[in-house]
Amino acid sequence: MPGILCEHCTAACCRYIALPIETPEDRQDFDDIRWYLLHDGISVFVEGGTWHIYIETDCRHLLPDHRCGIYDTRPKICRDYTAENCDYHSGDYGWEHHFTTPAQLTEHMEQQLAAKKRRHVAGRNGRSARAKMGARQKSRRKRAAGGPPSPATDLRGIPLPDLEERG
């Protein structure tokens, strides 16, 4: 890991792994994530809309002096990582959310599901209002267009004689 900064750090970047997980959509999905959070050393964060599980675990090759024990053969992900904007000096990762307890996740879930329900109801009302509006406009257009006048009929449906024509 390049940069003199690493000499002052206790290898924060070698003490966890983070993996993307599926975005929870319903209570069952959230409950699965709650299960993750019941375990020590696990948290979940959302970055750029993508959910991740964060697992605190030291690399087996981290030496007591915080240096890499397999520096020459370290994985590419370690080679690519730089001290430019790393875990040491970037306490704020720009995460939208960071859940460290099941309670935080549950609170977020209730907000998300309530918002989803509101969007669903608004969408349904919008569709219904558009359908009614469309039907009214269609009926107005039909009336405006006129079309052949329907002949006047008596109660039995028999057309009445055209008195004007005769007169």
Residues forming contacts to ligand SF4 in the complex (CB under 6 A) are 1, 5-6, 9, 11-14, 59, 61-62, 68, 70, 74-75, 78, 83, 86-88
Closer residue to ligand SF4, CB minimum distance, 53 or 113: 53
CB of 55 to ligand SF4, least distance (A): 13
Tokens 């605190």 belong to which residue?
56
Nearer to ligand SF4, 66 or 98 (CB): 66
Nearest CB to ligand SF4, comparing residues 70 and 135: 70
Residue 60 one-letter amino acid: R
Q: How many H helices and E strands in the chain?
A: 4, 4
Query: In DSSP terms, which residues pair with 95 in a beta bridge?
Result: none
Question: Pairing relation of β-strands 16-21 and 42-47?
Answer: unpaired
- Residue 124 CB, shortest distance to ligand SF4, in Å, is 49
CB of 86 to ligand SF4, least distance (A): 3
Indicate the SS3 state at residue 22. coil
- In the complex, minimum distance from the CB of residue 100 to ligand SF4, in angstroms, rounded to a whole number: 20
* Sign of the torsion formed by the C-alpha atoms of 69, 72, 75 and 77: positive
What is the amino acid identity at position 157?
Answer: G
Do the strands 42-47 and 50-56 form a parallel or antiparallel pair, or are they unpaired?
antiparallel
Nearer to ligand SF4, 9 or 53 (CB): 9
